[in-house]
Structure formats: C-alpha cells, structure tokens
Amino acid sequence: MAGQKIQRQTGVALWRQIADRIRTSINHGDFDETGMVPPETMLALQFGVNRHTIRSALAALAQEGIVRAVQGRGTLIERKERLSFPISKRTRFSQGIGDQVRETRSVLLATGEEAASVELARQLKIRTGAPLVRLETLGQADHRPVSRATSWFPADRFGDIAEIYRITGSITKAFKELGVPDYVRVVTEITATHADESDLADLQLSPGAIVLVAQALNADLDNVPVQYSISRFAADRVRFTVEN
C-alpha cells in the first residue's frame, strides 16, 4: 500500500493525506483478508510518521464511518464502496448502478424557476432569458448519498416537472408523463475538483475530499435538448465507465 511517500509542507496536513491513502487502500480491497487496518504502530512505520499522526488519520476515517477502532483488538473496516457508474447514450442514475446496490433513491432537495443564462441557453438551444425549471436532487444508493445534481429544463415543455418528480422520484418517469417517452445522453463533460461546503453537507464528505463533476446534456429522440445537468459525485464512492 504505502509505496508512495507522504509529502510535507504542501498545505495538506499529513493526517489528511494518510487518511485519503488508507481510504483508497480499503476501497481497493487491500485489507480484505483480515477486515482490519494494520496496527497503528505498523502504519506509523510504513508512512514514516508518528503514531499520533496515524491516529488523527484513523479518527477522520472513523468520523466518516469507514473504520471503527476497538481497544485491544484493532481498527475494523466498517464500510467500503466504489460504485461503477456507466456513461452511455442511455445514462440514467438508478438503472446503471441498480445491480450494485439493494436500493437506489433520488430525493428532491430544492426547485425553482430561473431565466436561461447565456451558457444554459447555448447548451439547451433556446434563447437567452427563456424560462427554465431548476431541480436540485440528491442521488442515494442504499441510503448513502452518492451524487448531488442541479438540472435545468425548458419551462415551456416541462413546467410541471418538479411536481411530478417529487411524486415519482424519477426523471425518466416525469419525462414520460410530459410526453417524452425516451431520451438520450448527447454529451458528458467530466472534471474533478475539491469538495465545496455544500458537497460536504449533502454528500456527507470529509473536508478536502474530491468530487467528480459531470456536466451532461440530454435530448429527446428528435435530438431536441430536454435537460442540462451538473452532477457532483463523491470521488471515492464512484467510478465512471464509458462504454463505446
């Protein structure tokens, strides 16, 4: 695991770097044999830091619910997960990861109306200032938050989409009700950045965590844009898979 050295004086505390590395190792399955993290003294030796620094890192992971320390026994792994999230013409939140978890759910956080910005108008191929419906949603897998998304829909076609989504919990079903039987992904842009304050709260992340940002455009079968969305995923919980 500890093949790479820890960096000092980088503005990122050692305990945080180590916590990130241990989290990655856990997700990679490095400790699956024992189901436990190596002893603090051994980790301290491996990373070349003091045991107290290791303890800070493990405390952060315990705070995330990833490990649980038991005095006298060791530090047990409580949870590990990295969902594979396919991106294709028919990308939908629940379908793609449905076989990897027991339950997927989508929760409406907020909704509103707004005028199309220059950028949104360009993407959705409508005039600047045209009315849009904005949906902010939280995607969950087995009751754990995976992504938070903001979506925009042209209000003239989808003025009632918020209400329908609130009831059905599904964009796909809401589209069907509003006369869009099917839709396809036109383009997806993927970037990565540090989690901001809202990410931390909504996705239950630890500060300094990484989020994968996917900006996506969906269109109906006549190739008319119907939805533009910006989704933010906890990077340590998902993996994007692009099938060609």
Q: Which residues contribute to the site for its own copies (CB under 8 A)?
A: 4-5, 7, 10-13, 15-17, 19-20, 24, 60, 82, 84, 87-89, 184-194, 196-198, 200, 206-208, 210, 212, 235, 239-244
CB of 61 to its own copies, least distance (A): 12
Which candidate, 38, 2, 36, places its Cα nearest to that of 20? 2
Tell me which of 28, 34, 35, 50 binds DNA, using CB under 7 A: 50
Binding partner at 20 among DNA, its own copies, none, C-beta below 5 to 8 Å by kind: its own copies
Using the contact rule CB under 7 A, the part of the chain among 52-60, 101-109, 166-174, 215-223 near DNA is 52-60
Phi, psi of 160 (to 5 degrees): -100, 15
72 binds DNA (CB under 7 A): yes
Q: Let me know: does 237 contact 129? Beta carbons within 8 Å.
A: no
CB atoms under 10 Å from CB of 217, counted, come to 18
Binding partner at 50 among its own copies, DNA, none, C-beta below 5 to 8 Å by kind: DNA
Given the structure tokens 């754990």, which residue do they identify? 144
Cα angle: 137, vertex 237, 172; to 5 degrees: 35
Each as own residue / partner, the long-range contacts of residues 193-199 (CB below 8 Å, 24 or more positions apart, any chain) are: 195/234, 198/148, 199/148, 199/232, 199/234
CB of 195 to DNA, least distance (A): 16
Q: Give whichever of 49 and 180 is closer to DNA, judged by the CB atom.
A: 49
Which residue spans within 14-71 are E strands per DSSP? 36-37, 67-70
> Which residues partner with 194 through β-bridges?
210
Interacting residues toward DNA by CB under 7 A: 9-11, 13-16, 37, 39-42, 48-50, 52-53, 55-56, 58, 69-75
